[in-house]
């Protein structure tokens, strides 16, 4: 129902910042729960943060206080501002859109944090 394209990943040193973007097409974006997940080498995909409606947010304990998820419904875009990055944040970050029973994923963008 929804196509998602992530961008903004890259290589950054510990303590630095990155801003991820995910642009959605199709579906009713404003009614969707949007989320960011990540998958580190050798680990399963895990929830980083999600947002429902305008401002109902949820964060993994490991990123709380460092990452901020937000959305722009007019641009059909969800963002993940990542500050104070740590090497353990290194992973492929995936955008997710959940609308009813429909679960859509982007292709992922790599984030690498060097020490």
**Across the chain, what does the average pLDDT equal?**
95
pLDDT tens, position by position, 67-97: 999 999 999 999 999 999 999 999 999 999 9
Q: Residue 2: pLDDT band by 50, 70, 90 thresholds?
A: confident
Token pair recorded at residue 77: 């875009």
pLDDT tens, position by position, 8-53: 999 999 999 999 999 999 878 888 999 999 999 999 999 999 999 8
Cβ–Cβ < 8 Å for 84, 14: no
């Amino acid at each position: 129902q929804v196509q998602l394209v992530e961008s903004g990943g890259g290589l950054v040193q510990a303590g630095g910042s990155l801003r991820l973007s995910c642009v959605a097409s199709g579906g009713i974006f404003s009614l969707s729960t949007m989320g960011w997940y990540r998958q580190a080498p050798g680990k399963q995909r895990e929830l980083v943060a999600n947002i429902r409606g305008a401002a109902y947010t949820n964060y993994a304990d490991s990123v709380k206080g460092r990452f901020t998820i937000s959305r722009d419904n007019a641009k059909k875009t969800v963002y993940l501002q990542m500050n104070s990055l740590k090497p353990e944040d290194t992973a492929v970050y995936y955008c997710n859109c959940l609308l009813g029973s429909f679960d859509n994923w982007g292709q992922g963008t790599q984030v690498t944090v060097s020490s």
